[in-house]
Each structure stands twice: as C-alpha cells, then as structure tokens.
Amino acid sequence: MTLENHRLSIENIKDSVELIDEVFLNTPQYINPGLSKLFGLNLTVKIETINPIRCFKGRGAEVLVSKSKGYKHLVCASAGNFGQAMAFSCKKRDIKVTVHASEFVNPFKLEMMRSLGATVELSGKDFDTAKAKGREQATKINARFVEDTIDIETLEGAGTLGLELLKLPYELDVLLIALGDGAMFTGISRIMKEYSPNTQVVAIQSEGAPALIESIRQNRYVCYDTTNTIADGIAVRLPMKQAIKDLKHLVDDTILVKDKSIEEGMKLINQHLGIIAEPSAAVGIAALLENKAKYKGENVGIIICGSNTNL
C-alpha cells in the first residue's frame, strides 16, 4: 500500500470538520517559552483537554456516531477516553451506548463514562479482553460494535488535528505523537505527509507497552501477554493488524520511553502549562527528556491529548 491508495481519504478528513461539535475544534496551539528554553528548541504545544471529555477522542466519535444513522444501540471497548467520547456523542443523538472496559480501568475515567450516560461493563483484566466481550455482546443483541482505529471515521476525526496544525505560521520540523491503537497518529500523519512532507512524524510508546512500535520496527506482527505502564491510554498488548497497515509509510521514527520520564513529563506540563496531563499525553515531553540533544534548535510539536487522570 502507498499513500496514493491509503484507505484514509484526505477529502473525508476535510469533510469531517462539518460533522464535529465545535467544542472539540480549533484547540489552542502555541509555542511555550518555558518548555522551549528547558529543551533548547521551539516547542509548540497543542492542547486537546479543554472540552467536555478532556481529550481528543471527541473528534473521531462525533464523525462515527453522526454516520451511524439507523442504529439505536452502539457497543464499544475503551480504556476510558473513547468511551467518554462515545457517551457524549451518543447522548446528543439519543443513541444508547454500552462501553466494555477492563476491571482495572482508571476510576476517574469510569466515573466520567457513566456520568456522560454510558452503560459500562467491566469485562476482564485488560483492554483486549474487554474488546472481545464487547464484540460478543453486540452480536447477541444485534447492535453495532464500533472499534476505535478500525472504523475509518475515528481516523477521519483525528485527522482534523492535522488540518489545524497546518494553520501554524511556521512549519514544524518534528511532530511527536503518542501511539496507542493508531487512530490519532494515522489521522495526523496522513495530513502532514500530504501538506507538510518535510515534517518528521515520530511515534512514541511506553517501554512497558511497545507492541505496535515493535511491530513497525520489525516489520512483523508483535504482541505481548501483558503490559506494564502507567500510560493506560496507550497500553496495547495486541496491536490491530489494520493499524499496522495504516501506519505504513506514515512513521518516520519511533521512540520508547520510561515511566519515570512520563511522570516527570506530567510534572513539567503542569508546571509550565498550568494543566493536568494524563500519562499518555505526556509521552512527547518524556521523549524530549530522554533525547535532549536530538532535537536541539528545531521546531518541535507535541499534542497534549488527554487529561483524564486522578490527582
């Protein structure tokens, strides 16, 4: 597969803007002086936490649910953020949604999903087990099972982040993006490769959940029995084969970071931006902490993609 016949259409990303609630669009993006000085570069931060669900997932959910006409019940699996996004979008359209989550789901995310109107089922010890249970339930009750990253609408919504980054009055040399299942990275990188090909797009995961990055590095399917990281939002042990296909030709480099660096990144974000970032949203800063010399003097971008964590 080449980018010319990639399943994610540039035109569909552009059209998606009209389907997304304005509360998720045109989020702040600016150079932060303190962090720029700390790392010796120009650091642009894009803040995706100032909305009703405190993360970027509302973009993809809005597109997906708006295109799910005729369904009265949707089922999905989530580590928390996508479930909140689905709950928000379904409630707006009077569609019932059931979210399957791990028994160890972040308590704050669990509370938020339920407060937004989702029925939450705690299904198994990790996200991948919850996904299997969700798919099983959807088949039994004849509901639509929706899957972040597999359903193209989630990539289309995430791609609108890239369209907004193009509005910066300068070109980014490097864009550091957290890699979970792959929807956010694929959507943004698809746009950058089309309109800002000189920008190096770098995928970042935790060392304790490296399955998708290892699959990319080794050019074969890599999975693990367990994950071990505080970054629950990107803790994937069974990568989607479709995601691996989608990411081909879109990843310029990969970085695995330590949990200790993620924790330090969360502190720095709070100190310099005045906001709380969940662990998955701090991996860009973690990558800079562990690679201080690599990006010196460059225009670097990071995305603070979520803030759903307890204090």
**pLDDT tens, residue by residue, 145-200:** 999 999 999 999 999 999 999 999 999 999 999 999 999 999 999 999 999 999 99
3-state SS string over 94-135? Answer: CCEEEEEECCCCCHHHHHHHHHCCCEEEECCCCHHHHHHHHH
Euclidean distance between CA atoms 156 and 54, whole angstroms: 19
Digit-coded pLDDT (tens) for 55-65? 999 999 999 99
How far apart CA 172 and CA 196 sit, in angstroms, is 8
Question: How confident is the model over 203-231, as a mean pLDDT?
Answer: 97
The per-residue pLDDT for 126 is 85
Residue 145 β-bridge partners: 75
Q: Which CATH number is associated with domain 69-145?
A: 3.40.50.1100
Look at residue 227 and tell me whether its pLDDT is greater than 70. Answer: yes
Is it the case that residue 18 has pLDDT exceeding 90? Answer: yes
Q: Where are the beta strands (DSSP E) in 141-247?
A: 144-145, 174-178, 200-206
Task: Tell me the C-alpha to C-alpha distance, in Å, between residue 295 and each of 140, 176, 287.
Answer: 51, 11, 10
Give residue-wise pLDDT tens across range 78-135: 989 999 999 999 999 999 999 999 999 989 899 999 999 999 999 988 888 899 999 9
Whose tokens are 């909140």? That residue is 84
pLDDT, one tens digit per residue, over 269-288 is 999 999 999 999 999 999 99
Mean pLDDT for the chain? 96
In the CATH scheme, what is the code of domain 3-52+152-304? 3.40.50.1100
Domain boundaries, given as residue ranges, for the chain = 3-52+152-304, 69-145
Whether 3-52+152-304 and 69-145 share one fold: the answer is yes
In the chain, pLDDT over 90 holds for what percent of residues?
Answer: 92
At 309, is the pLDDT very low, low, confident or very high (cuts 50, 70, 90)?
confident
Separation between Cα atoms, residue 64 and residue 263, nearest integer Å:
33
Q: What percent of the chain has pLDDT over 70?
A: 99
- Residue 311 has a pLDDT of 65
The confidence score (pLDDT) of residue 29 equals 98
* Residue 210, Cβ density class (10 Å: 0-12 exposed, 13-18 middle, ≥19 buried): buried
Q: Are 60 and 16 in contact (CB under 8 A)?
A: no
Residue 3 binned pLDDT confidence (cut-offs 50, 70, 90): confident
